[in-house]
């Protein structure tokens, strides 16, 4: 039963002490959840602080969005706390392309603008659960499911996302499939996606 319950955990392991500030220097430190921990008696306010989330991201790119990530690599004090967040900026008609977070559920709050958001359930249903969000609206993307956001407004949009992991990870579907290193065999992808091989090779060149 104990073994089964350990696999049912939906977030990072619970901490066994007040703080476990992540450090790179392992001397006199304890290794917990992928990071070395600073001596709790030496923790300071800066270990739990980040400045600059008010600064807009640069959305002048192919997809018209920018994600500012605040995870354990940015705030070492998040180590073992099972939480992180992102700021997402969207140009008009910009998008956060279909992606997954392998280690976290996400809860998104729109601060400015209008977003079309959604996620797709697992096989075999592959149901699209989608909604238009306005300022102040909140939406949840379940852990591991492919999801997206699209700015359908004429102005910039901004959202904040909370994630149930100190390091949720992100897998952007197109990048992973067509931009893998080394590339996946195009004959295989042509069959998997029911595309002409030349289309697959074109997409691989794009990514």
Q: Is 61 annotated as a binding residue?
A: no
Integer distance in angstroms from the first to the last C-alpha of the chain? 45
Query: Binding residue per annotation — 154?
Result: no
101 has binding-site annotation: yes
Query: Is residue 147 marked as binding?
Result: yes
> According to the 3-state scheme, what is the secondary structure of 174-200?
HHHHHCCCCCCCHHHHHHHCCCCHHHH
Query: Percentage helix, strand, coil, to 5, in the chain?
Result: 20, 30, 50
- For residue 6, count CB atoms less than 10 angstroms from its CB and return exposed for 0-12, middle for 13-18, buried for 19 or more: exposed
Rounded Cα–Cα distance for residues 200 and 207 (Å): 11
Spatial distance between the Cα atoms of 102 and 100, rounded to a whole number of angstroms: 6
Q: How far apart are alpha carbons 142 and 11 in whole angstroms?
A: 12
3-class SS of residue 137:
coil
106 is in an annotated binding site: yes
Residue list, annotated binding site for oxalate: 96, 101, 106
Residue list, annotated binding site for Mn(2+): 99, 101, 106, 147
Residue list, annotated binding site: 96, 99, 101, 106, 147
């Amino acid at each position: 039963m104990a073994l089964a319950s350990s696999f049912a955990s939906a977030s990072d392991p619970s901490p066994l002490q007040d703080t476990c500030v992540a450090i790179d220097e392992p001397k006199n430190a304890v290794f917990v959840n992928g990071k070395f921990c600073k001596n709790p008696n030496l923790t300071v306010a800066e270990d739990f602080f980040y400045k600059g989330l008010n600064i807009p991201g640069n959305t002048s790119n192919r997809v018209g969005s920018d994600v500012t990530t605040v995870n354990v690599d940015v705030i070492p004090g998040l180590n073992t706390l099972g939480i992180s967040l992102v700021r997402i900026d969207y140009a008009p008609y910009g998008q956060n392309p279909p992606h997954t977070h392998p280690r976290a559920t996400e809860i998104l709050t729109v601060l400015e603008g209008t977003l079309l958001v959604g996620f797709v359930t697992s096989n075999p249903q592959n149901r699209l659960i989608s909604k238009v969000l306005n300022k102040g609206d909140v939406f949840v993307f379940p852990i591991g499911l492919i999801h997206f956001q699209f700015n359908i407004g004429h102005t910039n949009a901004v959202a904040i996302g909370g994630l149930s992991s100190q390091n949720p990870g992100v897998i952007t579907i197109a990048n992973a499939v067509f931009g893998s290193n080394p590339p996946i065999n195009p004959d295989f992808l042509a069959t998997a996606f029911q595309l002409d091989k030349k289309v697959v090779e074109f997409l691989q060149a794009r990514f």
